[in-house]
Amino acid sequence: MKNGVAGLSNVTVQNCSFSGYSGRVITFGFAEGVSNAVNRASNISIVGNSLGAMTGNAATAIAVFDTDGVSVLENTVDRSSETNSGRRGINLDGDTDVEVERNTVDLGASGNTGSAFGFPVFIAARWTIQISMSSAESSDLSIVDNTLVGAYDGVVVLSQRDVTGLDVHGNDVETVQGVRLNAARGPTFGPQGPTLTYEDVTVSGNRFDGSRFSGSPITGVRLQNLNRDVAEVTYRDVVIAGNRATGVDDVVVVQDDDGDNDDDDEIILENVRVRGNRVR
């Protein structure tokens, strides 16, 4: 199901079953590379659907672009038996006022992570939830009580534009990286300039389990600046609290090295609180 027309609003996709599709199965606002940021959509609901057995590489189950008011609730994405590469779950791009709750996304990857991108898990299954900003900033996103399994990233946010208001709470996450902010290495898609800001971000009460993977690094929460186009990333008013982790190297990592050894990347932490996180 695909809508590539800007501005389509007040649409619900509910209690449907999709299988055998390639590309993007449920898609709103993706007009084959044409920006819909000016003529935005509103009030898109995707509820109680079942998606699986997709075909082709780099296929995405659900994608919603440039929409104000998005509800992705109680869907099941089961791609655990697929052997296609680049498997992807839910993509939210340039959206505001978003709730992603009580979904199950299983992309089926496990085993050796390798030591960096380009190794088995990253090639097989990229992310269960991705927040991107090709044409517009993202804000006021709630990712709560989901089960996210079998991918390199659980919740990943790309380094394209500022993000304001992100709550990741109460999720069961079995991925290599649980929550990874400012993930892309660049160049950026958006004209953000040399700085990015992540503000009002809470990652709390999640369960991170890396036991199905081997290799490293396996991390609960990662704040990073690896983008060659972004000299400065500010994390402001961030809370990382009450998370539980099993089979990880670290619960929280701050990383500001893009690997080129030129000291052009920087992370600024303003009112960042990390408390009550535990590894067992």
For 56-68, how does the pLDDT look when each residue is reduced to its tens digit (9 = 90+)? 899 999 999 999 9
For 11-49, how does the pLDDT look when each residue is reduced to its tens digit (9 = 90+)? 999 999 999 888 888 988 754 444 555 678 899 999 999
What pLDDT, on a 0 to 100 scale, did the predictor assign at position 108? 92
| CB neighbour list of residue 72: distance below 8 Å, 6 or more residues apart | 46, 47, 62, 64, 90, 92, 98, 99, 100, 101, 103
pTM of the model: 0.91
What pLDDT, on a 0 to 100 scale, did the predictor assign at position 150? 94
pLDDT of 189 above 50? no
Does residue 162 sit in helix, strand or coil? Answer: coil
User: Nearest-CA neighbor of 224 among 244, 250, 190?
Assistant: 250
Q: Give me the amino acid identity at 260.
A: D
Return the C-alpha torsion angle 106, 108, 111, 113, nearest 10: -70
**In the structure, what pLDDT confidence band is assigned to residue 8 with cuts at 50, 70 and 90?**
confident
pLDDT of 180 above 50? yes
Mean pLDDT for the stretch of residues 192-200: 81
| Lowest mean pLDDT segment, chosen from 32-41, 83-92, 209-218, 260-269 | 32-41
Q: Give the pair of three-digit tokens for residue 1.
A: 């199901």
For 108-138, how does the pLDDT look when each residue is reduced to its tens digit (9 = 90+)? 998 876 544 445 788 889 999 999 988 888 9
Mean pLDDT for the stretch of residues 139-152: 97
pLDDT of 251 above 60? yes
What pLDDT, on a 0 to 100 scale, did the predictor assign at position 34? 46
What pLDDT, on a 0 to 100 scale, did the predictor assign at position 33? 44
pLDDT of 186 above 70? no
Mean pLDDT for the stretch of residues 236-251: 96
Q: Give the pair of three-digit tokens for residue 122.
A: 């990253």
What's the mean pLDDT when you consider all of the chain?
86
What pLDDT, on a 0 to 100 scale, did the predictor assign at position 32? 43
Q: Please, what sign has the CA dihedral across residues 53, 54, 60, 65?
A: negative
What pLDDT, on a 0 to 100 scale, did the predictor assign at position 116? 45
| Lowest mean pLDDT segment, chosen from 50-54, 136-140, 150-154, 229-233 | 229-233
- CA count, 13 A, side-chain hemisphere, 31: 15
What pLDDT, on a 0 to 100 scale, did the predictor assign at position 131? 96
For 167-177, how does the pLDDT look when each residue is reduced to its tens digit (9 = 90+)? 999 999 999 99
Could you tell me which residue, 264 or 172, shows the higher pLDDT?
Answer: 172
